[in-house]
Structures are given as C-alpha cells and as structure tokens.
Amino acid sequence: MPPVKKRIRTYDPAKTRAAVLAQFGHIREAVRVLTPERLALPTRLGDWTVRELVAHVGTTLEGVTRLLDQPEPVKRDATVLDWPFATSANSGAIADTAHRLAEEHPDLVAFLADVERDFTAHLDAYPGTRLLATSAGAMPLADCVVTRTVELVVHTDDLNAAVPGFDIPLDRQALAACTRLLADALAVKAPGASTEVRIPPYAVVQCVEGPRHTRGTPPNVVETDPLTWIRLATGRTEWKTALDEAKVSASGERADLGGLLPLMG
C-alpha cells in the first residue's frame, strides 16, 4: 500500500454527512421512475445491470451501518487516504453482494429508503470518532463517511451513463469531497512536487518525483474538470481518451499521468 502523506486534508463532518444524504437522496428519487426495462439495461460495470448497480448503491450506506453494529477496533490503523487503494481487493465480493441484493429486493425504492433511515439513525447514535473495521483498516466513522462521497458520486455518474435521458444531479459538496479525496490519493501514490494537478474549483495537488517547483508557473501542469478527473481516477475513462477528446490539458515532460491511473477500480 502506498505511504500516506503526513498532512491529511480535513473534512467538516456535518457538511460531509449532509452531502452523502443529499446525493443518496438524489439517487433514491431517480430510481422511482425506473421501469423494469430500464432496470434491466446494461451498465459500464462489466455484467452489472442497472438493477444491480442500484442495489450496490444501497450497500454504500448499509455497509457503514453494518460496521457500526460490530465491535469497535481497539486501535486506529488507517486514514481516509488508505481507502482508495483497498477497494480493488474486494471487487469479487462486492459484485456477488450486488447480484444477491438485486434478487432479494424487488422494490428497490423501499430498499434504499430503509437503508437511508438506518444509516441516519446510526450516525445520530455514534460520534464521528468511533472506529470502524473497514477493508482499509480501522478508521473513524467521520473518515468512513467521506469515502461514501466517492462511491455515491461515481455511481451517480454510472447511472447517468447507463440510462438514456438520466441526469441525476450531483450535490456540490459531495462532488467536492470526492474530487479532493481522489486528488490527494494521487499525491500519495506518486509523491513529489514536480507536477501540479489542477481540478478547479475543488482541488490542486502536487505530485510526481522530480525538480521541486517553488514559484511562478509550474513546468508540468495537468488540468481537468471534476467529473473527468473522477472518471480517470476510477477507470471509467482512459488517460489517452481524455487527452484526445481535449478533456485534459497536460504540459511538461512529467505531466503524463497515464501510468498512474486509475487509482481505484
């Protein structure tokens, strides 16, 4: 696992909670209009249908509830920046769970409503410092909630791509947290200060080994929009494709991030 930076960005727990619930609510409301035919549509996630993707969205919050019902770990041994690098190890189990839940819950709207209610009740019952035994290690509840912004924003984009005419809105705070977490993960994976990655209006990070930039215009600059960055970081878009479509600008000999992406699968 890549070493974690000493300085880790902080997130306002109240804003993060509101962002997660807002984005989950956007998805839940959108699911109400999905017909059986649309639920059977394929997605860009392998053999997952829209129904299975929606079921998985439920697990993004249900998983936190389940972890809170388990014994608290004795010691913290992970941070929010460990999480992106631990996700691929569970891909098989995640797919199996999505398939199972899609079969067990024919009424997906009711399923999501139950998940949201239980999640909210558990957040009210536990402090943000309460440790959870996540796949990345033991981390505070507040950090775990930040990771939910990535799951929900990414899967909102997946649903919009899968269902013709879908335009589920993205909560601004959720999009910001998702963008920043994935940008910081890049800086962890490729520590250094020779390249500046700009994702306005939410994030700027320095990364990649090489001569350190101190002032003026950096010699190596990458700039893109938040959604393109999220798609690159999660493997929804390839680096070369984003360059060819002019969705990314990259200048300088150390501005090629193709070998560093995706950060998570």
SS (H, E, C) 71-136: CCCCCCCCCCCCHHHHCHHHHHHHHHHHHHHHHHCCCHHHHHHHHHHHHHHHHHHCCCCCEEEECC
pLDDT in tens, 173-193: 999 999 999 999 999 999 999
Helix (H, G, I), strand (E, B) or coil at 40: coil
Q: How far is Cα 77 from Cα 68, in angstroms, rounded to an integer?
A: 17
13-170: in CATH 1.20.120.450: yes
List every span in the chain annotated with CATH 3.30.1050.40.
176-260
pLDDT number for residue 54? 98
What are the residue ranges in the chain where pLDDT is below 50?
1-6
Q: Which two structure tokens, joined as six digits, stand for 14?
A: 């109240």
DSSP assignment letter at 156: H
Q: How far is Cα 220 from Cα 206, in angstroms, rounded to an integer?
A: 10
Tell me the β-bridge partners of 207: 195
Report pTM: 0.95
Compute the CA torsion angle 71, 148, 145, 79 (nearest 10 deg). Answer: 80
List every span in the chain annotated with CATH 1.20.120.450.
13-170
pLDDT in tens, 5-15: 447 899 999 99
Q: Classify domain 176-260 at the CATH class level.
A: alpha beta
Tell me the β-bridge partners of 250: 222
Q: Which two structure tokens, joined as six digits, stand for 73?
A: 């770990």
Q: Name the nearest CA neighbour of 79 among 132, 143, 6.
A: 143
pLDDT number for residue 218? 77
pLDDT number for residue 10? 95
- Alpha helices for 126-201 (secondary structure H): 141-162, 172-189
